[in-house]
């Protein structure tokens, strides 16, 4: 795999207005039955496809149904209708499909957390800041659909529809905010990142390196180890061929100051054991347990208080939705790093998967399966192509 980088400038959230793709004026009269015209002159269809959770289960294929014909939503005042071009896959998609985030919500409900595409119609007040044809990204439930209505105040203008931007929306901001809040990074500190070549791990590695830390990253293949080296990881450890505990004891006997942990189970236990005195472990996930009926795997929790007390160490849980007050600042900082070439946003389109690149809503099922094989390098993204002058 080639590690070629594309770093277009990104403008949004108060940055200058970017050149619009089309001079077409927005359509603001939403009072009629919708079969309006988009900025490229092709008809927006009356119906679309989308994924819907129809029963609660950690088995994504069992929980989620592809709906082949649902009405394209109509944007109200202050809203945008976005034609999705790329959507991001997250490990927590199956937590959402199993109903673990909100027990009060019952099927059917929409799924998918993030997307990027073009504005194809908008409500009156939204036309003050957006135009038909403008590329935008967003974080909102229900992104696994060909079209989605998004409030204009949460839409993020971007200069072009580039899937690399999706990597920052959830994966990048999770790493940035959690490390800033609980990592206390500074020059010379030692940082361990588990699942380091994954969607969010890649950012934890790079942010720690930008803070001049020594970074260890666990991964599951030599190809991933090569990628980690390419983004500055000092010590990639392939746990398929190396004993992580032995390598850590040999290379860093005093332990690490910070752990960015997303695997859970045995890796969590190992990470606690690797903590140095006054070390900090940040839990941003526990993917090894997500597919289980309970959503978790056992850990040696009985010994945890003694381990932390002995080291004056700490464990912090981090859930992005609890830190949305920090979100804008984090995304601005990440975009600046990306613009300056100091941040790689690796995207995995699924080219290395058995059936090839992830294209179309149907391939989201494959993309989720692919994530849980642990083979992805970077953020998994699914392309939703739309042909001009066609009704999808």
The domains found in the chain, sorted by start residue, are 19-157+346-392 (3.90.180.10), 169-323 (3.40.50.720)
pLDDT 10s digits, 324-367: 999 999 999 999 999 999 999 999 999 999 999 999 999 999 99
Distance CA 45, CA 146 (A): 10
CA proximity to 216, closest of 264, 259, 276, 266: 259
Distance CA 282, CA 297 (A): 17
The residues with which 157 forms a beta bridge, in sequence order, are 136
As separate numbers, helices (DSSP H) first and strands (DSSP E) second, the chain gives 11, 16
Crossing angle (nearest 10°) for helices 304-311 and 266-274: 20
DSSP 8-state assignment for residue 19: P
Taking the mean position of all CA atoms in its chain, how far away is CA 159?
A: 20
pLDDT 10s digits, 114-138: 999 999 999 989 999 999 999 999 9
Distance CA 130, CA 127 (A): 5
**Tokens matching residue 272:** 């606690």
Q: How many CB atoms lie within 10 A of CB 321?
A: 8
pLDDT 10s digits, 25-72: 334 444 334 444 555 555 789 999 999 999 999 999 999 999 999 999
Q: What is the pTM of this model?
A: 0.89
Distance CA 276, CA 258 (A): 8
Instruction: Output the pLDDT for position 39.
Output: 56
**Tokens matching residue 107:** 């099927």
- Sign of dihedral through CA atoms 166, 149, 161, 93? positive
pLDDT 10s digits, 16-32: 333 222 333 334 444 33
Cβ pair 112, 67 in contact under 8 A: no
Buried b (16+ CB within 10 A) or exposed e, 231-253: bebbbbbbbeeeebeebbeeebe
Cβ pair 229, 260 in contact under 8 A: no
Distance CA 19, CA 73 (A): 27
CA proximity to 200, closest of 318, 356, 26, 79: 318
pLDDT 10s digits, 272-329: 999 999 999 999 999 999 988 888 777 787 889 999 999 999 999 999 999 999 999 9
């Amino acid at each position: 795999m080639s590690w070629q980088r594309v770093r277009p400038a990104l403008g949004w959230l108060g940055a200058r207005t970017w050149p619009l793709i089309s001079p077409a004026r927005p359509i603001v009269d939403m009072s009629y039955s919708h079969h309006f015209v988009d900025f490229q002159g092709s008809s927006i269809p009356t119906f679309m496809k989308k994924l819907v959770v129809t029963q609660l289960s950690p088995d994504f294929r069992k929980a989620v149904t592809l709906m082949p014909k649902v009405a394209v939503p109509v944007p109200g005042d202050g809203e945008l209708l976005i034609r999705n071009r790329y959507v991001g896959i997250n490990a927590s998609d199956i937590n959402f499909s199993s109903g673990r985030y909100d027990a009060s919500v019952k099927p059917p409900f929409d799924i998918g957390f993030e997307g990027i595409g073009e504005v194809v119609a908008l409500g009156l007040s939204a036309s003050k800041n957006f135009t038909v044809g403008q590329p935008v990204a967003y974080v909102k439930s229900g992104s696994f659909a060909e079209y989605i209505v998004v409030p204009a105040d949460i839409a993020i203008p971007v200069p072009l529809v580039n899937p690399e931007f999706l990597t920052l929306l959830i994966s990048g901001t999770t790493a940035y905010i959690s490390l800033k809040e609980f990592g206390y990074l500074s020059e010379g500190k030692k940082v361990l990142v588990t699942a380091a070549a994954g969607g969010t791990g890649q950012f934890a590695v790079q942010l720690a390196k930008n803070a001049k830390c020594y970074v260890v990253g666990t991964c599951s293949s030599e190809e991933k180890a090569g990628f980690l080296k390419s983004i500055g990881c000092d010590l990639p450890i392939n746990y398929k061929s190396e004993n992580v505990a032995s390598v850590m004891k040999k290379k860093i006997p005093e332990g690490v100051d910070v752990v960015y942990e997303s695997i859970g189970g045995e890796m969590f236990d190992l990470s606690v054991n690797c903590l140095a005195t006054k070390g900090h472990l940040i839990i941003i996930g526990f993917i090894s347990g997500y597919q289980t009926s309970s959503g978790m795997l056992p850990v040696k929790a009985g010994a945890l208080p003694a381990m932390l007390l002995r080291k004056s160490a700490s464990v912090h849980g981090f859930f992005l939705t609890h830190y949305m007050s920090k979100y804008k600042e984090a995304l601005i900082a990440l975009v600046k790093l990306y613009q300056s070439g100091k941040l790689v946003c690796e995207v995995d389109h699924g080219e290395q998967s058995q059936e090839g690149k992830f294209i179309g809503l149907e391939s989201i099922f494959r993309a989720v399966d692919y994530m849980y094989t642990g083979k992805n390098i970077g953020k998994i993204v699914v392309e939703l192509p739309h042909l001009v002058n066609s009704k999808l």
